[in-house]
Amino acid sequence: MDPIETLFSAARAAQGRAHAPYSRFRVGAAIRDEAGAVHAGCNVENAAYPVGTCAEAGAIAAMIAQGGRRIAAILVLGDGAALVTPCGACRQRIREFAGPDTPIHVAGPEGLRRTFTLDELLPASFGPDNLA
């Protein structure tokens, strides 16, 4: 299977399990790590805003829990006509485990809509290398 299609399938499955009773806006995300393993996450809302979790944060947590340490690529899947890119906090979360050239694929129900690099979404970012 095509690498982007693999991420899309994992993100779609996760999106279907999202807990979004308040916004009704379900998001799925899937990461391919440095070893090629795929890790998925979905948004999990909470009645006490803002303690919910974004899909990207869930996918990153799954990656770390399963031993992955670097994001080779990530795909974010959301519904609607507009691009569903990672929020600012998730862009910074991704930056912790990815380099400036890491592809961030943005998809809708029909498939891939656009690909960005992390540097395009979070230019001149602060990351682990700033603290080295």
Residue-by-residue pLDDT tens, the chain, 132 positions: 899 999 999 999 999 999 999 999 999 999 999 999 999 999 999 999 889 999 999 999 999 999 999 999 999 999 999 999 999 999 999 999 999 999 999 999 999 999 999 999 999 999 999 998
Binding-site residues from annotation for substrate: 43-49
Q: Indicate the burial class of 39 (C-beta count within 10 angstroms; 0-12, 13-18, 19 or more).
A: buried
Question: What is d(CA 86, CA 131) in angstroms, rounded to the nearest whole number?
Answer: 24
Among 5, 34, 56, 110, the active-site one is: 56
Binding-site residues from annotation: 43-49, 54, 87, 90
CATH of domain 3-126: 3.40.140.10
52 CB-near residues (< 8 Å, 6+ apart): 43, 44, 45, 46
CB atoms within 10 A of CB 100: 14
DSSP 48: S
Catalytic, 56? Answer yes
CB of 104 closer than 8 Å to CB of 29: no
